[in-house]
Structure 1
Amino acid sequence: YLREVLTAKVYDVAVTTPLTKAVRLSEKLGSTILLKREDLQPIKSFQLRGAYNRMARWPLQLLLEHGVVTASAGNHAQGIALAARHLGCQALVCMPEMAPYVKVRAVQALGGMVELVGESFQEAQEHAQVRELTTTGQTLIAPYEDPATIAGHGTIGYEILRQTNMDKLDAIFVAVGGGGLAAGIAAYVKALRPHIAVIGVEPTGSNAMAQSLARGERVALTHVDAFADGVALKHVGAETFRLCLELLDGVVLVDNAATSAAIRDVFDETRSILEPAGAVAVAGAKAFLRHYGLCHQTVVAVTSGGNMNFDDISLVAELAGTG
């Protein structure tokens, strides 16, 4: 994946996000905590990288004639809608009926057509696959499984190694949903600096990657906790699982209270409010360092998204008090 990451076409629409020290959190934990601020992308999520890289590699004429279809819990949907607007094609996005309204409205504001289908991402994905088969020429853009999508996300690893002293970096913590972000970062970082640990982080209520890695095969969950909707998937991708099985150094599980406390931590540092899925990597870094009693480490946590429903802030504030 090294060549694919280095030639990824993400910077037509994505920006190089800052890597900033979380001063208060670093002092509290006795280590240097660096935040990779993907919540500062134009759509407030890393998903723009993979979505655009995948679409930019498809023949433009086919995109213009037939458009694209995808399924998403919200952030990938925004990436597809922005990429489609930039390329001048139509985008149909299938989202779960319980998708946060802030994400639905954002997709529509970017010109995407939204169909709300089913209770989970998997149901929306099945609907998108049917639409691809029944709509002549429409291209299905996978949210995490496609190699071009994975390579697009891998550009975050490229930036991290450029923005820090890679020889002194101990670990990178990455949220895991379908696995595309973790797979992309791990594929790039491990190719150049294999000593850097790349550690996935999942909520305890949607831990498909942790269970899959433990069993050595992909596991399908029967139910997922939608608190961190951006990573609430019942199963991971085949290619992302293959890469994570080979390259990830482990997976940390965090509960909703720990994730909410991490949202509060980042707000205290930056005055920015992460969505739960965007904060699980911070929660995982905290849990890992405390569990193993580690100090004087230098670690990166990817703050992967900031599309928070305003109505959910009170619940997060309540849970943060117990985290």
Structure 2
Amino acid sequence: MSGFSLAELDAAAALVYPHMQASPLLRWPLLEQRLGFEAWVKHENHNPTGAFKVRGGLVYLQRLKQRLPDCPGVVTATRGNHGQSIALAARMVGMRAVIVVPEGNSESKNRAMQALGCELVVHGRDFDVSVEHSQHLERAEGLHRIPSFHEDLVCGVASYALEMFRAGPVLDRVYVPIGLGSGVCGVLSARDALGLDTEVVGVVSSEATCYQQSLAEGECVATATADTLADGMAVRVPNPDALAMMRSGISRIVDVNDDQVLAAMAHYFEDTHNTAEGAGAAALAAAISEQADNRGRRVGLVLTGGNVDASLFARALSA
């Protein structure tokens, strides 16, 4: 998968905006006092499903409906935000959606997906095992399987990056959380299509470093576990197409631990009164870890989502 032209990204964005508005790009005085540098927060937690993924689902399902008007339904695996995106978009186009989640998945995300009308299947110890089961259901029930990384998903989520780069001043650096990679690849695609020099820094959990290791090794490296409270980053097996895009344009990948993530969740609430899930707070956590180097820079922070269970959020606020 190569980069996309600005015309291609704008065409995908045109499928998004009939169903949602552009998300806010804001500076917060208290947050900047804490950080000591200029910070622009891209609030994807304000989207209809509470996360950036909704953009990709809207593009993917509308294009699928055009290509396969008689498709009997779709199946996908998720930790939650991708699943909500697919469930919402499938309902809009009148298509059955089967969503596979791992055991112990976020209860609030499970309920949100079911409320959008999907059939929820709980299977597997982690996300990557759920992916394998979604492949089984694809064959057994004749469903179209939606991967967590695909060019239509990347083009869709790139719309938030177009908004970020067009609405604000030129950013020196942007921190982007990495799960399976559609978000950071969307940012890279938008940056390159607009001809900008903004540095893009990926962020992973210290307990789920497959992309960090893969970038260092120059090839896909899977990890044995991905045991992090930041479920949106809990990926063990990297996608080769995503890695190829990262290798061509990302500056580096930094890792943050669960304690740093919890602290960043609390900082967002204390300084902006916004709720951030673990992955949503990861960019802030990474920017804080590089605080000295960020002074004097104009920094973008992608708050990718706010779908967090109450018990975990309470833990963050009491840490």
Q: 1:250 to 1:123 in 2, by over 3 A?
A: same
The structure 1 residue matched to 2:26, chosen from 20, 23, 31, is: 20
SS in 1 for 2:16: coil
Alignment partner of 1:4 out of 5, 8, 24? 8
Report matched runs for 1:42-121 at 5 Å: 42-60=48-66, 62=68, 65-121=71-127
Question: 1 CA distance for matches of 2:48 and 2:10?
Answer: 21
CA distance in 1, matches of 2:160, 2:71: 32
Once residues 133 and 184 of structure 2 are traced to their aligned partners in structure 1, the CA distance between those partners, rounded to angstroms, is 26
SS at structure 2 position matched to 1:218: coil
- Structure 1 ranges of 4+ moved more than 4 A: none
| Equivalent position of 2:168 in the other structure | 164
Give the aligned residue type for 2:103: E
* TM-superposed deviation, 1:160: 0.7
Question: C-alpha displacement at 1:64, in angstroms?
Answer: 5.4
1:266 matched to 2:279? The reply is no
Identical-residue share of aligned pairs (%): 30
TM-aligned CA deviation for residue 275 of structure 1: 0.8
- Using the size of structure 1 for normalisation, the TM-score is 0.93
How far 1:244 moved relative to its partner?
Answer: 0.4
Other-structure match for 2:300: 300
Mapped to 2, the partners of 1:316 and 1:179 lie a distance apart of 25
Kindly state the Cα deviation for residue 230 of structure 1 after the two structures are TM-superposed.
Answer: 1.0
Pick one of 149, 153, 172 that aligns with 1:149: 153
The amino acid that maps onto 1:162 is R
| 8 A contact 1:55–1:141 mirrored in 2 | no
- Which amino acid in 1 is paired with 2:169? N
Distance 1:15 1:46 in 2: 12
Shift of 1:203: 1.1
Among 221, 224, 228, the residue aligned to 2:223: 221
Secondary structure of the corresponding residue to residue 233 of structure 1: coil
CA drift of 1:311 comes to 1.6
Residue 192 of structure 1 deviates from its aligned partner by 2.2
2:183 and 2:110 mapped to 1: Cα distance?
Answer: 22
1:250-265 counterparts in 2 under 5 A? Answer: 250-265=252-267
Q: State the SS of the aligned residue for 2:290.
A: helix
Q: Is the 8 A contact 1:63 1:89 kept in 2?
A: no
Where 1:302 maps in the other structure, the secondary structure is strand
Please say if residues 190 and 196 of structure 1, whose CA atoms lie closer than 8 Å, have aligned partners that are also in contact: no
Output the CA distance in 2 between the equivalents of 1:279 and 1:264. Answer: 9
Instruction: Tell me which residue corresponds to 1:313.
Output: 313
Mapped pair 1:181 → 2:183: yes
- Please, which runs of 5 or more residues in structure 2 have no aligned partner? none
The amino acid across from 1:146 in the alignment is H
**2:191·2:197 contact (CA, 8 Å) conserved in 1?**
no
Deviation at 1:58, TM superposition (A): 1.1
**SS in structure 2 of the partner of residue 58 of structure 1:** helix
Separation in structure 2 between the aligned mates of residue 114 and residue 265 of structure 1, nearest angstrom: 33
Q: SS state of the match for residue 98, structure 1? A: coil
The 3 A distance-change label for structure 1 pair 63 and 258 is farther
**Alpha-carbon offset, residue 318 of structure 1:** 4.2
1:270-289 matches, cutoff 5 A = 270-289=272-291
CA contact 2:31–2:272 (8 Å) conserved in 1: no
Q: CA RMSD in A?
A: 1.5
Go from structure 1 to structure 2 and tell me whether the alpha carbon gap of 1:205 and 1:18 turns closer, same or farther (over 3 Å shift).
Answer: same
Separation (CA, whole Å) in 1 of partners of 2:269 and 2:296: 23
Farther-moved stretch of structure 1 (229-238 vs 7-16)? 7-16
Find the aligned partners of 1:58 and 1:29 in 2 and give their Cα distance. 43
Look up the match of 2:238. 236
Distance 1:61 1:252 in 2: 39
Match of 2:202 among 200, 203, 208: 200
